């Protein structure tokens, strides 16, 4: 009995140190991935067979990291080169207006440095819209990475850091904001100020790869008459997968994200854009032209929180 009591006392004495060591380990990044920006797209490298002593292995893949990517897409030519076994009746892809079925496959593992992301389901698409970039794009990944790691986007150092723990590191810099989901896309709350002095608060999708400042959903534009209350600066015609879309470009006096204040925010809208909410009204999406103004953004998808460092 005395020996058991001594054993229990030893456990209780050592337990705080053990827990502290575990907590300290969870504060360290398990991978630090350099990224390069190509026309607003954040491109990271990954492999399907791990790293090699000689440096970059022959099967290195280049993925766009985009928080708005609810599924991971994979370039059809890369899938053919890797002889992936595909299922032709697998996935659904497309836009708000058009939905098509695309083949799917499963990557047994993706390596980010020595950190593994196993059994990644990918949707096979041409990805021809990225042909003009000075790098071959093999895929787009977002939510699959966010579900498995806390992700810190360090725009200043141009690195993506991955943390394993569900608990945000204690030394994470920046303003904390609650994060919610619309389906699987991360959502934050923000307040826009209009030229007439009125403020509107609503929910916005957090899209790190969006080629805009704010892209409004058109029902929100109509509801608040933004097409008459905001100045028209220019229009752009953009060819989508299936049709030509006309975007109207404008500017907002300011945007508040919690206590963070941004002036003269670029915004756009299009009659064909309506990335609607499942339950709550969605004003639209906030994209790269806003997020690039921050030093770093830390996303705890599972813990439903976001940190903005200005």
Residue 178 and residue 203: Cα distance in Å, rounded? 11
Q: For residue range 49-90, what is the model confidence (pLDDT) as tens digits?
A: 754 444 555 568 999 999 999 999 999 999 999 889 998 866
The domain that holds 131 is classified in CATH as 2.40.70.10
**Co-location of 134 and 191 in the same domain:** no
- pLDDT of 252 reads 98
Predicted pLDDT of residue 280: 84
Burial level of 260, CB count in 10 A (0-12/13-18/19+)? middle
Strands across the sheet containing 115-125: 36-38, 41-46, 61-65, 139-141, 72-75, 115-125, 99-112, 87-94
Q: Is the pLDDT of residue 6 over 80?
A: no
Of 242-246, 268-272, 275-279, 292-296, the one with minimum mean pLDDT is: 275-279
Q: What is the pLDDT of residue 275?
A: 83
**How large is the average pLDDT for residues 279-285?**
91
Q: 135: domain range?
A: 31-148
- Provide the domain count of the chain: 2
- For residues 292-305, give the mean pLDDT: 97
CB 123 within 8 A of CB 73: yes
Mean pLDDT of 110-132: 93
Clarify whether residues 217 and 292 are in a common domain: yes
The angle at the Cα of 43, spanning 39 to 44, to the nearest 5 degrees, equals 165
5 in a structural domain: no
Percent of the chain with pLDDT over 70: 84
262 belongs to a structural domain: yes
pLDDT given at position 277: 63
List, for residues 141-189, the tens digit of each pLDDT value.
Answer: 999 999 999 999 999 999 999 999 779 998 999 999 999 999 999 999 9
The overall longest dimension of the chain from CA atoms, in Å, is 83
Distance CA 284, CA 310 (A): 22
In a domain, 179, yes or no: yes
């Amino acid at each position: 009995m005395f020996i058991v009591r001594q054993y229990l006392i030893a456990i209780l004495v050592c337990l705080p140190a053990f827990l502290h060591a575990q907590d300290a380990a969870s504060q360290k990044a398990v991978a630090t991935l350099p990224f390069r920006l190509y026309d607003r797209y954040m491109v990271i490298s990954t492999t399907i067979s791990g790293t090699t002593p000689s440096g970059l292995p022959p099967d290195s893949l280049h993925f766009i990291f985009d928080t708005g990517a609810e599924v991971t897409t994979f370039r059809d030519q890369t899938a053919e080169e890797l002889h992936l076994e595909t299922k032709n009746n697998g996935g659904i892809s497309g836009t708000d207006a058009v939905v098509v079925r695309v083949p799917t496959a499963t990557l047994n593992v993706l390596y980010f440095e020595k950190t593994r992301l196993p059994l990644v389901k990918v949707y096979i698409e041409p990805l021809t819209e990225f042909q003009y970039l000075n790098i071959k794009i093999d895929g787009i990944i977002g939510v699959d990475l966010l579900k498995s790691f806390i992700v810190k986007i360090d725009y200043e150092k141009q690195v993506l850091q991955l943390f394993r723990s569900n608990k945000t590191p204690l030394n994470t810099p920046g303003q904390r904001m609650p994060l919610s989901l619309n389906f699987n896309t991360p959502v934050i709350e923000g307040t826009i100020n209009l030229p007439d002095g009125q403020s509107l608060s609503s929910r916005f999708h957090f899209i790190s790869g969006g080629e805009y400042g704010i892209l409004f959903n058109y029902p929100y534009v109509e509801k608040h008459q933004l097409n008459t209350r905001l100045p028209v600066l220019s229009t752009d015609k953009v060819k989508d997968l299936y049709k030509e879309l006309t975007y109207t470009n404008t500017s907002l006096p300011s945007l508040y994200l919690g206590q963070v204040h941004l002036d003269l925010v670029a915004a756009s809208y299009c009659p064909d854009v309506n990335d609607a909410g499942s339950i709550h009204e969605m004003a639209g999406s906030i994209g790269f032209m806003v997020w690039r103004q921050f030093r770093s953004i830390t996303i705890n998808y599972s813990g439903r929180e976001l940190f903005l460092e200005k």
